[in-house]
């Protein structure tokens, strides 16, 4: 049975047989984050009661499975029925892939969407519409919502190289992302301090490249802890994460760093680096920062990268992009390498920046051969940007980089470290414990995140569509476990969710703050170790614990 037939079946059988019962009058307005494009709340009217029979869902509909999960997680009983369902799912292609209409009356719920992800977003808005009626019982407020996202890219980047989050914790992150309508998990899987991605043809990538001899002590980046750090994800774990995310409307975008941030790969296979330079001694790096080891621009390296990309495409079949990093690639080794200099001469390249551009374009052809697109950090434009590449703008001190890419016709994703580096401090009130060491930046509060306008100033109207959206980056040098990750990300993630989804003209910080307070009980119930929005202590000050990878 196809999805269209299921939409038609559910909508034709549900309406005449609704079992729902009205609640007492509801005066408590729903506080949905991100704010919908249009919401009409009917204050003082009865809503849809939840205290007795719960919600009856149309059996056999794929969205009923998701609805059952979400209602259960929010303490609401459900039942699958062949007839008499309380919810009617109806297909409306005019709403696009993520738009939806949601209507709640005293005896029925209707969701119209153009695709499954729109239906998921409607269900998340429905979960945030659970309030207490005049009798103190749970109910769904009577409302009408018509909604769609402002931007198609609403992301969070997870860094598993410096500190590796177990799959169970990644799933918790995905559940939280889905509630607030994020749709991209950018997964940083390779770097100088560890290679976490399994590639069957190259087992030493994880055997050798997945282990560093030690790490900086938490709270003192210049002092080593003397403890080996090792781990990687299996292919089965990655497929599990990808499917779990897909079920929640989230696409996982993998990142394989090149040509720089390659120490771990080169430590595993030294022939991939610039082995013809003096004092060549690659190793998996034990400290944070930028390190000099870059891939050599040789045919052996390109064959290796082609094999890696083949494996990445098998593990992440639904990702339309492969992220190649491209940032912070020192050119010193290429300048010293006779081999690299000969490549430059043979290809007519004027400098090492052009060599990096040549390197990136070679890799882009491999990615395009799989029907996918290349995306990278804004350094990929140094030496010349491919006209088909997508660029992530992270260096806030280089405002012209975004404008230049847009003028060339490239798509961009805004990730400026001035607003969206969630490994930075998020204002005063940080606990004194060493586990809370981070990068000092007291101005990066949730209010500052909320102030972000993703479309760069001066962007012509015709080019605004090239701004795909925005993303928070959560680098993990100072984030050893999930509680610390949560503390860095929440509540700033909720502010970003509204920046990325809500029409610009509807943003209102004061209104958002009121809705944010209403979200805190949900975060408390899920055990999220958020920072108090009033800059107080975290929800669970004793929550930072050491977790074993395996």
Cα 15 to chain centroid distance, Å, stands at 37
Spatial separation of the C-alpha atoms in residues 173 and 160, rounded to whole Å? 13
For tokens 């059996």, name the residue. Answer: 59
The residues that bridge with 220 in the sheet, in sequence order, are 217
Cβ neighbors of 19 (< 8 A, separation 6 or more) are: 53, 56, 84, 86
Spatial separation of the C-alpha atoms in residues 367 and 387, rounded to whole Å? 14
Spatial separation of the C-alpha atoms in residues 353 and 357, rounded to whole Å? 6
Burial of 295 (0-12, 13-18, 19+ CB in 10 A): buried
User: Are the CB atoms for 177 and 248 separated by under 8 Å?
Assistant: yes
DSSP 461: G
Active site residue 328: yes
Active site residue 191: yes
H or E element that contains 446? helix 446-450
Sign of CA dihedral 156, 157, 162, 164: positive
Cβ neighbors of 154 (< 8 A, separation 6 or more) are: 181, 182, 183, 184, 469, 470, 471, 496, 497, 500, 501
Burial of 81 (0-12, 13-18, 19+ CB in 10 A): middle
Q: What is the DSSP string of 201-254?
A: T-THHHHTTTEES--EETTEEEEE----EE----HHHHHHHHHHHHTTT-EEEE
For tokens 């004092």, name the residue. Answer: 279
Spatial separation of the C-alpha atoms in residues 37 and 145, rounded to whole Å? 8
Q: How far is CA 78 from CA 8, 26, 56, 86, 408, in A?
A: 21, 22, 6, 10, 52
Catalytic residue among 107, 169, 175, 328: 328
As given in the structure block, the two tokens for residue 259 are 């040509």
Catalytic residue among 232, 261, 291, 419: 261
Q: What is the DSSP string of 70-130?
A: HHHHTT--EEEESS--SEEEEE-GGGTTT-EEEEE-SS-EEEEESSHHHHHHHHHHHHTTE
Catalytic residue among 191, 378, 425, 498: 191
Burial of 86 (0-12, 13-18, 19+ CB in 10 A): buried
As given in the structure block, the two tokens for residue 339 are 């081999």
List the catalytic residues: 191, 261, 328
């Amino acid at each position: 049975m196809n999805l269209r037939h299921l939409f038609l079946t559910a909508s034709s059988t549900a309406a005449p047989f609704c079992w729902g019962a009205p609640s007492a009058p509801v005066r408590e307005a729903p506080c949905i984050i991100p704010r919908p494009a249009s919401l009409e709340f009917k204050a003082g009217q009865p809503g849809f009661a939840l205290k007795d029979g719960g919600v009856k869902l149309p059996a056999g509909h794929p969205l009923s499975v998701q609805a059952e999960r979400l209602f259960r997680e929010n303490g609401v009983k459900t039942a699958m029925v062949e007839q008499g369902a309380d919810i009617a799912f109806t297909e409306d292609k005019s709403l696009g892939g993520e738009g939806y209409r949601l209507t709640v009356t005293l005896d029925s719920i209707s969701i119209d969407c153009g695709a499954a992800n729109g239906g998921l977003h409607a269900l998340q808005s429905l979960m945030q519409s659970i309030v207490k009626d005049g009798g103190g019982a749970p109910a769904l407020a009577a409302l009408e919502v018509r909604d769609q996202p402002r931007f198609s890219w609403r992301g969070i980047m997870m860094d598993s190289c410096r500190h590796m989050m177990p799959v169970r914790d990644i799933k918790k992150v995905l559940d939280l992302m889905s509630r607030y309508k994020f749709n991209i998990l950018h997964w940083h899987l390779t770097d100088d301090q560890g290679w976490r991605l399994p590639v069957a043809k190259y087992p030493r990538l994880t055997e050798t490249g997945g282990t560093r001899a030690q790490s900086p002590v938490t709270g003192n980046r210049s002092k080593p802890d003397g403890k080996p750090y090792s781990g990687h994800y299996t292919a089965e774990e990655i497929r599990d994460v990808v499917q779990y995310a897909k079920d929640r409307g989230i696409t996982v975008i993998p990142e394989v760093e090149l040509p720089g941030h390659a120490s771990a790969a080169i430590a595993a296979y030294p022939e991939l680096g610039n082995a013809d330079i003096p004092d060549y001694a690659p190793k998996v790096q034990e400290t944070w920062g930028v390190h000099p080891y870059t891939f050599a621009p040789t045919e052996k390296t390109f064959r290796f990268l082609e094999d890696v990309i083949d494996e990445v495409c098998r593990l992440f079949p639904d990702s339309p992009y492969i992220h190649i990093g491209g940032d912070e690639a020192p050119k010193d080794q290429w300048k010293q390498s006779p081999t690299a200099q000969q490549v430059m001469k043979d290809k007519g390249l004027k400098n090492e920046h052009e060599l990096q551009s040549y390197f990136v374009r070679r890799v882009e052809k491999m990615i395009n051969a799989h029907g996918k697109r290349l995306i990278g950090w804004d350094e990929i434009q140094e030496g010349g940007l491919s006209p088909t590449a997508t660029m992530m703008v992270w260096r806030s001190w280089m405002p012209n980089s975004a404008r230049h890419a847009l003028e060339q016709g490239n798509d961009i994703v805004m990730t400026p470290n001035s607003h969206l580096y969630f490994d930075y401090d998020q204002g005063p009130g940080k606990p004194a414990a060493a586990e809370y060491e981070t990068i000092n930046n007291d101005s990066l509060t949730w209010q500052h995140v909320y102030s972000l306008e993703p479309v760069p100033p001066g962007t012509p109207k015709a080019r605004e569509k090239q701004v795909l959206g925005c993303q928070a980056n959560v680098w993990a040098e100072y984030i050893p476990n999930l509680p610390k990750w949560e503390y860095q990300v929440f509540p700033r993630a909720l502010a970003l969710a509204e920046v990325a989804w809500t029409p610009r003209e509807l943003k209102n910080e004061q209104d958002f703050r009121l809705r944010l307070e209403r979200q805190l009980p949900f975060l408390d119930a899920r055990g999220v170790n958020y920072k108090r929005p009033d800059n107080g202590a975290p929800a669970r000050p004793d929550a930072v614990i050491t977790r074993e990878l395996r």
